[in-house]
Chains A and B, each alone.
Chain A
């Protein structure tokens, strides 16, 4: 009992310990190695940049968060609908799935010029890029959840006289929920990647813009501050998705863990 509590505390402290260790190593390296601080600023300098530009960082970060979340929620709606269709009808699966794989293989940066051409510069191409990156894991996971329904469960339902939509509602959707929530963690981080990539190319606002501007002014410490802001945001939203997951599909966690 006591040992397991201690183990849990250690396990929860590990990410913080490792981060602190990395920062300390970085600080030491940049002080001792002789690499110009214009190329590799020390964490202390990054922190100074962060404090100095905090209002600009906050403003641009908020913009990035908003575009990422819009893209993410569009991907959620589109991904669930498409995933249900792909998972529920084999005919849709055979038609759509190869195209989905092909679409997923395209580097989304390659689509950016098109998005800019169609939507102009600003939030819209960022939302589209975030959507196009985030939608794939959602579709795949929802479809997988539906496809892995036990045949016996379906037999039970059909022998009772359940219609197709009843089977989907009572078995298919609950069955695919844990898969959906697992995919959301991946999707939200991909949405951030998408919107930042788009901002660096075609936007006037957002953390990506701020970083591009900073790098063109050789303010490397601000670039690093931007990177860390993105990383922290991604972790935060990953954590929120994880929390939602454990709330909504707790049975899937505990069922795996036994009693």
Chain B
């Protein structure tokens, strides 16, 4: 019965125009560490991410998922293969990508609001306008904080906030310049279970509002199923994509929904693939 459900939803997906031309595509991308190139971290990885698509990458720990993020953003050059973002081959760091990590990596010397303003001081066209449109930029950052429930805390320093609040601020910083591409490297991993589930909701509503393309690296399969349109399962090192699953659950998804049978079936299916990958 569940199988039927999934296949019915997949046929719906094929009509979606966002997947017609991938916004990001990796073609046989390999990465070797060290001069002898003996240690392959990624082995001929191919994948595509549509414009405005939310993709999750899961896999055994230490399989090079974070490396994948660095490749896509051009922070690391690929040893072979091609990374194409927005019709351009990536040679150097691409500009204006929003990033969030397991650590909030906020600057302790800036207030929370000024932390969120950071991308507007670097990314064009905001950088050019930042003297003229200072008030406008601050309003934009404040609106981001309001959206994640941090409205009254803009003047606080990050170290005066709890871990969950810091992570919210970090998401604001990743999104304030309305990037087309957002990289999320286990951004919720260090949080307690309740805060984590709460932030899934925050993340989802931000995505529904801004519709950026996102790549989320995570260990948490429920998180992957909750947030993503598509989940990729990587093998252990050298990492390859061994499985791909479209998640066609209606949005907005809810925590209650994550306890329903077909959600759990999806999690179990992914878990099975990872168990295979580890052995």
Contact = CB atoms under 8 A, between A and B. Distances in A.
Q: How large is the interface on B (under 10, 10 to 19, 20 to 34, 35 or more residues)?
A: 20 to 34
Interface stretch (B6-14, B27-35, B90-98, B236-244): B90-98
Contact of B99 (A155, A166, A252, A259): A155
Nearest to A173: B109
Given A162-B122, A166-B122, A170-B118, A152 B75 contact: no
A251 B24 CA distance: 40
Interface stretch (B40-48, B100-108, B200-208, B210-218): B100-108
Contacts of B75: 155, 158-159
Interface of A is mostly: helix
B160 A259 contact: yes
B259 interface: no
Contact of A161 (B96, B108, B173): B96
Contact of B183 (A159, A174, A249, A254): A159
Q: How large is the interface on A (under 10, 10 to 19, 20 to 34, 35 or more residues)?
A: 20 to 34
Contacts, number: 70
A171 B93 CA distance: 18
Interface string B76-102: 000000000000000001111111010
Contact of B123 (A161, A254, A255, A259): A161
Interface in A131-158: 150, 152-153, 155-158
A258 interface: yes
Interface of B is mostly: loop
A157 B105 CA distance: 11
Given A170-B118, A258-B159, A160 B105 contact: no
- Identify the interface centre among B98, B107, B122: most chain A CB within 10 Å of its CB: B122
B235 interface: no
A174 B93 contact: no
Given A251-B157, A259-B160, A157 B122 contact: yes
Nearest to A258: B159
Given A155-B99, A174-B107, A255-B159, 7 more contacts: A152-B101, A156-B101, A160-B95, A161-B124, A171-B107, A254-B159, A254-B160
Interface of A: 150, 152-153, 155-162, 166, 170-171, 174, 177, 249, 251-252, 254-255, 258-259
Interface of B: 70, 73, 75, 93-99, 101, 103, 105, 107-109, 118-119, 121-124, 157, 159-160, 173, 177, 183
* A-B pairs with lowest CB-CB distance, top 7: A161-B95, A159-B97, A255-B159, A152-B105, A160-B122, A152-B101, A255-B108
19 contacts: A152-B103, A155-B70, A155-B101, A156-B101, A156-B105, A157-B122, A159-B97, A159-B183, A160-B97, A160-B118, A160-B119, A161-B94, A161-B124, A170-B107, A251-B159, A254-B157, A254-B160, A258-B159, A259-B159
